[in-house]
Amino acid sequence: MKRTSFRTASTGTVRRLGAGILVMGLALSASAKDGSPSGTAPPAPAVKAKPSAKQKHWFQVGVASWYGTKFQGRKTAGGEPFDMNQMTCAHRSLPLGTWLRVTNLKNHRMAYVRVNDRGPVLEGRIVDLSFAAARTLGLSSAGIGQVRLEPVSSGDPEMALALVAQLQLPVVLPPVR
């Protein structure tokens, strides 16, 4: 019997690939059609649903800071080593792995970051950004700034496509039949 050896990718490569596949799925599902032929209305439901209250869009506004060299290589709450050159952040309560759109309210620059740690430790701060994220947002020379946090939603194709563009992943379209 012939033995086969397998090479495994590094954890970072697998996570980036997994994140890319997830984002692509979000972007494709958000832009997919419902399958009904154009020009015809979908059949009416047999039972009328109760009108639901409008869903509230979650966001958070407050002070952001960044952390970097002191924590480089240390384990995050998610178990991965902290890399100050990745687009990540620490948040007190959002689930680990959540993607956020962060907007600097002073210069209106935006960046997409993944929650991979818990924090910030300092009172009055809502998020600690990696050095790369803070640099992308153009935080002040003091390393702090007023920001708005919004989760990336699968129902918002523009946000999903902007995230794909930031990750610099190639957009792969299904073959035309």
Cβ proximity of 117 and 128 under 8 Å: yes
Residue 38 lies in a domain: no
Cβ neighbours around 63 below 10 Å, total: 14
> Are 163 and 111 within one domain?
no
In angstroms, the CA 142 to CA 15 distance is 32
- Residue range 158-172: mean pLDDT, rounded: 73
Buried b vs exposed e over 141-151: b needs ≥16 C-beta within 10 Å? eeebbebbbbb
Residues 87 and 162 in one domain: no
CATH number (domain holding residue 68): 2.40.40.10
> 6 lies in a domain?
no
If asked whether residues 68 and 147 sit together in one domain, one would say yes
Domain for residue 17, yes or no?
A: yes
- The count of C-alpha atoms lying within 13 angstroms of the C-alpha of 156, restricted to the half-sphere facing its C-beta, is 14
Residues 140 and 158 reside in one and the same domain: no
Between 32-36, 57-61, 89-93, 127-131, the lowest mean confidence (pLDDT) is in 32-36
Spatial distance between the Cα atoms of 141 and 108, rounded to a whole number of angstroms: 16
Instruction: Note whether 82 and 158 are same-domain residues.
Output: no
In a domain, 142, yes or no: yes
Q: What is the mean pLDDT of residues 50-75?
A: 83
In the chain, what is the straight-line distance between the N-terminal and C-terminal CA atoms, in Å? Answer: 41
Range of the domain at 104: 60-153
The total number of residues shown for the chain amounts to 177
Which pLDDT tens digit goes with each residue over 88-124?
Answer: 999 999 999 999 999 999 999 999 999 999 999 888 9
In tens, the pLDDT along 128-142 reads 999 999 999 999 888
- Number of structural domains (the chain) is 2
68 in a structural domain: yes
Looking at the structure, do residues 93 and 145 belong to the same domain, yes or no? yes
pLDDT, average across residues 3-15: 48
Q: What was the pLDDT predicted at 63?
A: 97
- Is 167 part of any domain? yes
